[in-house]
């Protein structure tokens, strides 16, 4: 278990903490999404969790090892992929790979070569880092993060700036990492990707967590849409539908927006009232609407 308890970070030039008493857990075989507005504290949280930034308070434990007191052992269990991979721009991938293999604890170079091959970088190993596209730089960051076969990955905006092919490759890798037993904490502004990939979603706002929702609960937590076509849409039918949510009408079609709408109950209520339901379709909960509503409430 990758566990964070009471994490806080205050910078000298800021009065308010960048991260304020954050606690979270990421288990094996789990992908957790971390979403929030710019400046909400996502990157700071990830940088503290991988040991790059020191916290002002709080503790990070990796499978029971304190990152503060057992940094070398705990760090080997974490693979960090930053939003902007930064390496010596004049260094070749070969030299960088040797450097990071030694830094990670004398990892055999063959491990790195295999990762370069797996990520389609074997033909680029003699190139200088500055010559790589953003997508290739991001692939190399995953190679470096994977050298120690970590149990947990911390991904900061992994989809930013990627073309559709690279996005599909990253998506497949995240799913495979979960299947192989790794835990993944994924920070992203791409809410569609978060919703499709993550088992749980954490919402952070102004340095504090404001919500945690499981993917299976998202449809019930977020606003849902229900479209109903009936044989007649008179005022009585509208009043009946308004008990389930906000109703808008066009001809014989009614659209209902609300939280936790049960299509079966809507259908039963209409039929029992003497209406013929010709069509009923649902629009499941949307993470973007849920996120925006939480931010509005927190603000």
Mean of all residue pLDDT scores within the chain: 89
Interval 108-142: pLDDT, tens: 878 989 999 999 999 999 999 999 998 899 999 99
Quick: pLDDT tens for 202-217: 999 999 988 888 876 7
pTM (predicted TM-score) = 0.79
Residue 11, CB half-sphere, CA atoms under 13 Å: how many? 8
Q: Which CATH architecture is the domain 2-218 placed in?
A: 3-Layer(aba) Sandwich (3.40)
Mean pLDDT of 273-279: 94
**pLDDT at 285 (0 to 100):** 59
Calculate the alpha carbon distances from 299 to 46, 191, 206, 254, 270 in Å. 23, 20, 9, 32, 39
Q: Name the residue ranges covered by the structural domains of the chain.
A: 2-218, 222-298
The two structure tokens encoding residue 238? 């509208």
So what's the pLDDT on residue 141? 94
Q: What count of other Cβ atoms lies within 10 Å of the Cβ of residue 233?
A: 19
Contact indicator for 187, 213 with CB cutoff of 8 Å: no
What's the CATH fold of domain 222-298?
Answer: Alpha-Beta Plaits (3.30.70)
Asked whether the beta carbons of 215 and 192 are under 8 A apart, the reply is no
Q: Are 201 and 33 in contact (CB under 8 A)?
A: yes
User: How confident is the model at residue 299, as a pLDDT?
Assistant: 67
Model pLDDT, residue 222: 57
Q: How confident is the model at residue 64 (pLDDT cuts 50, 70, 90)?
A: very high
Q: How far apart are CA 255 and CA 235, in angstroms?
A: 14
pLDDT of residue 130: 95
Segment 7-27 shows an average pLDDT of 89
pLDDT, tens digit (0-9, with 9 covering 90-100), for 215-243: 767 655 555 678 999 999 999 999 999 99
Quick one: three-class SS letters along 234-284? Answer: CHHHHHHHCCCCEEEEECCEEEEEEECCCHHHHHHHHHHCCCCEEEEEEEC
């Amino acid at each position: 278990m990758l566990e964070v308890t009471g994490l806080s970070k205050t910078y000298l030039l800021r009065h308010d903490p960048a991260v304020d008493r954050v606690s979270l857990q990421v288990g094996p075989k789990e992908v957790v999404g971390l979403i929030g507005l710019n400046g909400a504290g996502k990157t700071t949280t990830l940088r503290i969790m991988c040991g790059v930034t020191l916290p002002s308070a709080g503790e990070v434990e990796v499978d029971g090892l304190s990152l503060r007191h057992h940094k070398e052992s705990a760090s080997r269990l974490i693979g960090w992929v930053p939003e902007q991979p930064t390496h010596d721009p004049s260094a070749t991938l070969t030299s960088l790979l040797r450097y990071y293999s030694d830094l990670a604890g004398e990892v055999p170079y063959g491990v790195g070569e295999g990762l370069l091959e797996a990520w389609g970088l074997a033909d680029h190993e003699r190139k200088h880092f500055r010559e790589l596209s953003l997508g290739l730089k991001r692939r190399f960051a995953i190679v470096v993060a994977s050298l120690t076969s970590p149990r947990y990955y911390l991904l900061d905006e992994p989809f930013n700036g990627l073309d559709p092919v690279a996005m599909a490759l990253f998506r497949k890798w995240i799913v495979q990492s979960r299947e192989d037993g790794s835990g993944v904490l994924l920070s992203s502004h791409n809410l569609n990707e978060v919703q499709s990939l993550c088992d749980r979603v954490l919402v952070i706002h102004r340095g504090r967590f404001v919500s945690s929702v499981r993917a299976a609960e998202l449809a019930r937590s977020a606003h849902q849409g229900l479209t109903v076509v009936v044989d007649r849409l008179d005022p009585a039918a509208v009043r009946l539908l308004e008990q389930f949510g906000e109703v808008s009408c066009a001809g014989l079609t009614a659209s209902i927006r609300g939280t936790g709408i049960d299509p079966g109950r809507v259908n039963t209520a209409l039929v029992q009232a003497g209406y013929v339901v010709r069509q009923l379709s649902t629009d499941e909960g949307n993470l973007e609407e849920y996120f925006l509503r939480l931010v509005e409430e927190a603000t």
